[in-house]
Amino acid sequence: MRSTQKYALTDPVSFKNQMLQWAQIFDEVILLDSNSYQQLYSSYDAVLAVEAFTAIKTDHINAFAELQEYQEKTADWIFGYLSYDLKNDVEHLISQNKDDLLFPDLYFFQPKKLLLLKGNELEMHYLRMVDDEMDDDFQEIQELPDTIQLLEKEDSDCGKVKISLGMTKDVYKKKVGLMLDHIHRGDIYEANFCQEFFAKDSCIEPLQTYHHLNTISQPPFATFLKFDNQYLLSASPERYIRKEGKKIISQPIKGTAKRAEDKTEDEKLAAQLKADTKERSENIMIVDLVRNDLSRTAVKGSVKVEELCGVYSFKQVHQMISTVVSEVKETTSPVEVIKTTFPMGSMTGAPKISAMQIIENLEESKRGLYSGAVGYFTPKGDFDFNVVIRSILYNAAENYISYTVGGAITAKSDPDKEYEECLLKAKAMREVLEGV
């Protein structure tokens, strides 16, 4: 079905920038970039998929059944996203909050052209109808100027973006108080509560914005996604779920601390996060939830916690990450593994269904792609998906820009501190959009 060609690269970092610039001529684009972040579970440094041969786009109704049929029928690489509101397909839930982004709930496509970058080697996997274009495309990409240098010199016609708050600090604190009432009554133990920041009648240069966001964050699960006029520019540090053969890996993040320029102070902040009982309890609650989710498809006795509450440092923040694994039977559908764990526990709460119901009542905007997932399936049925956080969403047709941030609310939460954590998580997006 696909022809494959390998090429040696002299400057893979520049080539990655050049191939994303080249990709802008297509209507369907997904770049997944690890930013050379070394970790145990990874396949490629960067992956670029462009130009749909086939695609599936749908709302939440029977979405997972349709995705499973598409994945099995295609038996090829497919790339796309799952929005948070697919929860309504998994459970008897609804989404009635305002939605100004207007993204479909689910979108996957089979790319005609696929580029896989690992170290100094590029693999191009092209469908046979376009495989005679491989050498020409490779040459064209190499001849493009260095994108980042070009974009830094380029002025945007869009003007300054003015970000508005989805809710004021006082409203946010009041709603956290209501969330705490639910916790103290025993309705839930923890919930991820989010707020939107947005700009109406505004535009951005998506490629320029993505490069800026990725440069200041350099996360392991960065994403540039373009479907016609809809864009996701993501600096996500979090993996949702991965399948390698029969092994399933989930790596929830719960626990955030700021970085410091002074090395000693920075190490102190990381150590404080590691020892923080509130942050650890948040993380452990979600680990228990993930273990329960994975057990629904796991071979009995195979669910294990490989790492609990490890602290990892990124350019903007320190994060507390755990790794939970399981094993599934060869006959288990890849889509079933995702359906039985979606949405990811780090973005919902515990118990999961009650938390999602309370979240829906207290939040003011539809999450959509935020706190959903972007990733791919391989022809063998393996997959890898991130968590859509630390991300800018943009509908160019509607001139609407949005980013959402949230945090875990537990019995020990202080509304003022939770608000400050939200602002910390929003820092990179705000800096990119407002230049502050």
Catalytic residues, which ones? 238, 254
Length of the chain equals 436
Neighbours of 260 (CB within 10 A): 14
Alpha carbon distance 11, 281 (integer Å): 44
Alpha carbon distance 314, 52 (integer Å): 34
Alpha carbon distance 134, 115 (integer Å): 10
- The candidate with the shortest Cα–Cα distance to 100, out of 404, 423, 428, is 404
- The candidate with the shortest Cα–Cα distance to 83, out of 419, 428, 425, 404, is 404
DSSP structure string for 138-153:
HHHHHHSPPHHHHHHH
Instruction: Provide the 3-class DSSP secondary structure of residue 198.
Output: strand
Q: What is the dihedral of CA 347, 348, 352, 353, to 10 degrees?
A: -140
The percent helix, strand, coil of the chain (3-state, each to 5) is: 35, 35, 30
